[in-house]
Amino acid sequence: MPPDDTDDGLRPPNDNAYETNEVRTGPPLEYVAEKVRHTLEALHSLIHETRQRVSPDLSGAAASSGPPASLREEYLLPTALYAFRSALVGHLALNNMLALANDNDLDDRLLAYSRDAFKEWLDRIDQADSVTG
C-alpha cells in the first residue's frame, strides 16, 4: 500500500532539518563523527551499568531541607540520558540521518540493545553515512 503522503517515501535523510552548505577548515568531519560515536558507546555502557549496578536507593543530601534525593534516579540517569540524546542527535546529523532523531522511542530502543547490538546499529549508520554531503 502506498503511503498517504507521496512525499513520505522521498524525504531527504535529514527530513526538514536545517541544512546549509559550508566551507570549513578544521578536523575532518569523519574524525568528529568517530569521536561522537565513541562518546555514544561510552554513554550507552554507562547507562546500562548505572541501571544494573547502582541501587535506586542510593541517596544523598537534598539541595534543600527536604528528604534525601535518589542519586541514581534524580541525578545520574537524567544527566547520562540527556548526554546520550545530545550525542545521538549530533552523530545522526554528522551522518546526514537526522530524520531518525524524530523517532520519539529511538533512545529507549537503542538503550535496550546489548553493547554488541548497539555497535552493530552504529556500524549500519556509519556504512550508510554521508559525512561529507
Task: Give the pLDDT confidence of 64-86 residue by residue, as tens digits.
Answer: 667 777 889 989 999 999 999 99
Domain that holds residue 51: 26-56+70-127
Does the pTM of the predicted model rise above 0.85? no
Tell me if 46 is assigned to some domain: yes
Crossing angle of helices 115-127 and 77-94, in 10° steps, is: 20
Tell me if 43 is assigned to some domain: yes
Tell me if 20 is assigned to some domain: no
Position 28, amino acid? P
Position 92, amino acid? L
pLDDT tens track of the chain, all 133 residues?
Answer: 444 444 455 556 666 666 677 788 888 888 999 999 999 999 999 999 999 999 988 887 666 667 777 889 989 999 999 999 999 999 998 888 888 888 999 999 999 999 999 999 999 998 886 554 4
Task: Report how many domains make up the chain.
Answer: 1
At which residue does the C-alpha cell 530524520 appear? 99
Cα gap 89→126, rounded to integer Å? 14
CB atoms within 10 A of CB 95: 24
Tell me if 4 is assigned to some domain: no
